[in-house]
Every structure is written in C-alpha cells, then in structure tokens.
Amino acid sequence: MAWPDTVRRVSNDADALVEAFHAQTDRRPAGVWAAPGRVNLIGEHTDYNDGYVMPFALAQRVLIAAAPRQDGSWSVTSLNNHSTETFESADLQPGMTGWQAYVAGVVWALEEAGHRLGGADLVLSSDVPVGAGLSSSAALECAVLTALADLNDLDIAGLERAKLARRSENAFVGAPTGLMDQAASTLCTAGNALFFDCRTTEAEQVRFDTSSAGLEILVLDTKTPHALVDSEYAARRASCEEAARLLGVPALRDVSDVDTALQQLPDPVIQRRVRHVVTENARVLEAVSVLRAGRIADLAPLLDASHASMRDDFEITVPPVDLAVEVARGSGALGARMTGGGFGGCIIALVPAGEAERIGREIAKSFATAGYGPPVHFTAVPSAGAQRLQ
Ligand code: GLA
C-alpha cells in the first residue's frame, strides 16, 4: 500500500540526509539506514493465500537518519513532505492516518512485541515512487525498523523484522496486506530475485542477471491514480478466503487440481479468482526453474500469462496498464505484466538490453494518443535489502 506523499523529489543520498538531520536537530545522527522498494517479478495476490512470490529490491529506497532522544518522545521529519510530526509512544493507537502512521506503526509493533524503545529524532527521505505499486510504504516501515533495531540494540532477524513491519501495516495502519513487500525490503540481496514461500517463510536468493542474457527490466509507472486499490484489494482477499472455506482447504495454496476445484465452486467470479491464484502459484514455481537454469528469456511467456490472468481472472488491471503491456510487447518486449497490487501503478517488461528507453517512449506516445497523462519509466537492477549505510 502507499503512504500519502506529495512526491516531492529530494536528493536521496546519505550525506545529504546527514546534513538535513543536522539542520533539523542541531546534532549529528547516530547513523543512516536504508530500505528499498521492490518490483514483483511474478506471483501477484498469492502471498496472503500462503503461496509463492518472487520480488526483487529496487535501487530506489527510503533513507533514515536517526539519533536517540533522552526525553522518550519521537520527532519525525519527512523531507519529501516537508513536514515534521511528533508523538509519544504511550499515545499510539491503531488507526492513525498520514505518512507518519507508517513510522509510528513500527514503534507500536516493536513495543507490542515486547521490545523496549527509547524515543528518537528521525529524518527521512525517499525516492521510491509513491502510489505506483512499488511498496513505498513497506520501504518506509522497513527503514524505520532497521534503524530502531540498531539504535536500541535489538537482535531481530531479517524475517522477524519483515513480520513486525507487516504487523504494523496490518494492525496499525489497517491495510490487510500479505508479507511479500516487507520480506522483499528486508531479505532481498543485490543481483538476485527472492523466491519466497509465504507459508513456510523459506527464502531462496535466485540469481537474476539480466545483462548476462542481453536483457533488462523496464519498469513503467502508468501514473494511474488507483483510488479503488484499498477496497478492491480487501475484496479480492475476502473472495480468496471464502473460496478456501468453500473448498475445505486452509488456503488456496492447497488447491492442487484447479479443474476439480472449479467444479466445486458455483460462482463464476469466485472460480476466476481461484484460477488466478492457483495458476499464478504454478507460474512462480516455473519461473524459479527457469531462473535457476539461467534461461532468463523463458520468463517472458510466464510474464504474459500472469498479466492475462490478472486482467481476465483476478480483474485487477485497468485500461492504461493493459495498454502499456500491449504496446511494450508490440514494441519489442519479450514479455510484460503489471506488478503490485493492481488498479493502476507499474508494469514491468523484459526487454532487449538498450531498448528500454525506446520502448518506454513508444508507450508514452500511445498514452498521449489515448488521452492518458505521461508515464515515467526506468530500468530496474536487483539491489540490496534493508541495511545500515553509515
Ligand atoms: C500489495 C500487498 C502485497 C501483495 C501484493 C499483490 O503489494 O502489499 O502483500 O498482496 O499487493 O501481490
């Protein structure tokens, strides 16, 4: 989900943030921490069905400079929003709104889990596009968590950090997401995609070196406002849970024979939702085999099939997203799909190296013709997960 932001672009390097921290608090930070946004290569709406996902971390990230405070209270400045918010741990209540809820929620989740925290001054900046399905909120949560764990000498393993960040998003902010985004932000490593089993929480780093295959990943943000995302996301999740109940399985992950399952479901909408989840899980497993064998180009048909499944069965795409995917393919992409929760946001396309710019421009032209606003694109390189920088 996305934290509200005016999306002011800020210089996002650690030294600039240290200077900003000094200007804000008149002292030096104890450190600077970072946590990335992600794209999901494949495995959409499978995480909360106990299924499989395969995201990788972006170079775009949230940076946080922090120093402990003696008075136990919290002060948080967002350079993107140009605002400073303060709060006391004792006053934190689930349901808080605004960008600061993603910070306060992490404080709340850590304390709820029994960790003792002192207050802190935090100054943050982000270059993760907001509202684009690239997990700007998970990046913020995981950056705060990484900083607070270090500042308070808390020994919390990566997976546990992801779970705490998700707890804050689910129970404090109130978004019923799965674990994928926080797992990606904390567990991903440079050069790899993360094959993550959301039931067992087993994680495998799978080499994803597109350049060795003469390919690259184009990410194109359609800039489509996705007003429906929260309610539609919750509705999809509810349908999946209802389907699992009707089928008598703990989660849709447990459906092995999709045809038999569909025969047991009377409602065509629920049938389509189930078909998406079951086939998408199978596509993730196929994608893992393809990457393990170094056959990156063979991802393309899986990306295409995933998009068709999200469009026709899970019904989470919107016309600009479908147009971007079609034009990407028509302009030379090997395969393309929407990435993230849906109802707008980004597509990813597997394209020949050096072609991303041209294909991005072709999509922009088609958007102008269709009367849509200009999209924004970049190429994505699998990057490091949350870490201390200084
Ligand atoms: C959002 C959620 C994730 C996941 C995706 C869809 O990003 O935060 O947990 O469900 O949507 O795959």
- The catalytically annotated residue of 47, 121, 127, 181 is 181
**Mean predicted confidence (pLDDT) in 299-318:** 98
Helices (H) and strands (E) in the chain, counts: 11, 12
Atom of ligand 1 nearest to the CA of 135: 7
Residues sharing a CB contact under 8 Å with residue 33, sequence separation 6 or more, in sequence order: 63, 64, 66, 143, 146, 147, 150, 386, 387, 388, 389
Are 36 and 134 a contacting pair, CB within 8 Å?
no
Dump pLDDT digits (tens) for 42-90. 999 999 999 999 999 999 999 999 999 989 999 999 999 999 999 999 9
CATH fit for domain 209-380, picks 3.30.70.890, 1.10.1760.20, 3.40.309.10, 3.40.50.1100: 3.30.70.890
Cα–Cα distance, 284 to 302 (Å, whole number): 8
**Residue 173 neighbours by CB under 8 Å, 6+ apart:** 1, 96, 101, 102, 105, 137
Q: Candidates 38, 41, 42, 45: which one to mutate for ligand 1, based on the most atoms within 8 Å of Cβ?
A: 45
- DSSP assignment of 84-125 equals EEEEEGGG--TT--STHHHHHHHHHHHHHTT-----EEEEEE
| Contact status, residue 240 vs residue 249, Cβ threshold 8 Å | no
- In three-state secondary structure terms, 182 is helix
H or E segment and range at residue 166: helix 158-167
Is the model's pLDDT at 7 over the cut of 70? no
Name the residue ranges covered by the structural domains of the chain: 5-205+384-388, 209-380
Phi, psi of 305, deg, nearest 5: -65, -35
Its pTM stands at: 0.95
Q: Which atom of ligand 1 is nearest to the CA of 341?
A: 11
- Is residue 95 classed exposed, middle or buried when 0-12, 13-18 and 19+ CB atoms within 10 A define those classes? exposed
b vs e for 242-269, b when ≥16 Cβ sit within 10 Å of the residue's Cβ? ebbeebeeebbbbbeebeebbeebeeee
Tokens for 157? 């393993």
The predicted pLDDT at position 3 comes to: 46
Q: Which candidate, 51, 46, 52, 1, places its Cα nearest to that of 236?
A: 46
Q: What angle do CA 86, 72, 144 make, to 5 degrees?
A: 60
Q: Report the percentage of the chain scoring pLDDT > 70.
A: 97
Ligand 1 pocket, CB under 6 A: 1, 40, 44-45, 47-48, 135, 177-178, 180-181, 340-341
- Catalytic, 181? Answer yes
Q: Per-residue pLDDT averaged across 288-314, rounded?
A: 98
Distance of alpha carbon 343 from its chain centroid, rounded? Answer: 15
Please give the pLDDT value at position 6.
44
* Single-letter amino acid code for the residue at 62: V
The whole-chain average pLDDT of the chain stands at 95
219 confidence band (pLDDT: 50, 70, 90) = very high
Class of the CATH domain delimited by 5-205+384-388: alpha beta
**Does residue 35 contact residue 181 with C-beta atoms inside 8 Å?**
no
